[in-house]
Amino acid sequence: MHDDRHSDDNRHEDRIQEIAGLIQQSERILFITGAGLSADSGLPTYRGIGGLYNDQHTDDGIPIEAALSGDMLRQRPDITWKYLLQVENACRGAGHNLAHRIIAEIEKIKPHSWVLTQNIDCFHRHAGSRQLIEIHGRVDQLFCTACHYREEVRDYAHLTPLPTCPRCHSIIRPNVVLFGEMLPEDAVLALHREMQRGFDLVFSIGTTSVFPYIAQPVFEARRWGGKAIEINPDTTEVTPFVHYKLPLRAVDAMSRIWRALGYQLPV
């Protein structure tokens, strides 16, 4: 009886060698990352924030998307903050993983590489990525909804259930894109600028690619004369359009690619 897993592994190995070759030949690489990358750090992946809620309603009887929306923050900030604090608490203590570090290392050897992430956890930043587009914002920045007050925080442990501004006592909020809100203009402009320059290689890692701005660079890769690679155990919106599919978790795939490039794993 032959072992299917073994033949799968060999097939992956051939692809991994080819992908390592493509990295070596490429100048500009784009890494598009989603919740599946941070899942390897132990973060829940609820459509972007974790297996925390899945398809169930919250204990307030409303979908999590409604609780974490811009509208709810305006009307009932206590509800939005209740779930922001739950989500942050579930993620607290986690940090970047080997896949984040390898992506940052690739940027060092390929300095025209960029990361486009949907994750708000700042793990790419902490792992050392510099050319970073945090398209959904970052959880470690808080700002006042009324005045110019801003602060950077390590976590939300010190916050009250409904945090207010120390200056004007209005509601403060995290610098993240809530459901129904616009994307940050500076991030959109940076993405547009880099897309106009094009990329030789586009990685889609741990994202379902349901948002057009996340899927588009994968579709554009052919027009740029580049290649697209997907790392995801699941089939997604972009799976039919990539040149290489590795149905693996992010840390497993990126570790094997990094070793195929001939490097020791970063500590």
Residue-range definition of the domain harbouring residue 48 = 44-93+140-176
pLDDT (tens digit per residue) in 21-65? 999 999 999 999 999 999 898 876 654 444 445 556 778 888 888
Q: What is the CATH number of the domain that holds 3?
A: 3.40.50.1220
**Active site amino acids:** 136
CA distance 145 to 150: 10
Q: Which of 4-13, 86-95, 177-186 has the highest mean pLDDT?
A: 177-186
Q: How confident is the model at residue 7 (pLDDT cuts 50, 70, 90)?
A: low
**54, 104: one domain:** no
Given 176, 198, 226, the domain boundary residue is 176
CB 72 within 8 A of CB 80: yes
**pLDDT at residue 131, rounded to an integer:** 98
More confident residue, 47 or 84: 84
pLDDT for 49: 47
Closest CA to 238 of 254, 222, 225: 222
Please give the average per-residue pLDDT across 241-264, as a whole number.
96
- Strand bridging mode 244-246 / 201-205: unpaired
- pLDDT over threshold 60, residue 206: yes
At 244, is the pLDDT very low, low, confident or very high (cuts 50, 70, 90)?
very high
Give every strand in the sheet of 244-246, ordered side by side.
132-134, 114-117, 29-33, 201-205, 227-231, 244-246
- Total structural domains within the chain: 2
What average pLDDT does range 235-243 have in this prediction?
Answer: 95
Return the pLDDT at 1: 45
Residues 194 and 258 in one domain: yes
Q: Give kind and range of the element (H or E) at residue 103.
A: helix 98-109
- Give percent of the chain with pLDDT exceeding 90: 80
pLDDT band at residue 10 using 50, 70 and 90 as cut-offs: confident
φ, ψ at 91 (rounded to 5°): -100, -10
Overall average pLDDT of the 60-80 stretch: 93
Residues 250, 146 share a domain: no
Mean pLDDT of the chain: 91
Determine the average pLDDT of the residues in 104-122. 96
User: Do 104 and 128 lie in a common domain?
Assistant: yes
| 150, 29: one domain | no
CATH code of 49's domain: 3.30.1600.10
CA-CA distance, 1 to 20, in Å (whole number)?
Answer: 32
Same domain flag for 161 and 187: no
User: What does the pLDDT read at residue 113?
Assistant: 98
What mean pLDDT do residues 184-197 have?
97
114-172 per-position pLDDT tens digit:
999 999 999 999 999 999 999 999 999 999 999 999 999 999 999 999 999 999 999 99
State whether 35 and 49 are in the same domain: no
- The model's pTM: 0.92
Within this chain, do residues 194 and 242 fall inside the same structural domain, yes or no? yes
Domain shared by 148 and 17, yes or no: no
Of 119, 112, 104, 114, the closest CA to residue 206 belongs to 119
> Do residue 206 and residue 252 come from a single domain?
yes
Give CA angle at 99 (122, 153), nearest 5°: 15
Residues of the chain with pLDDT > 70, as a percent, come to 93
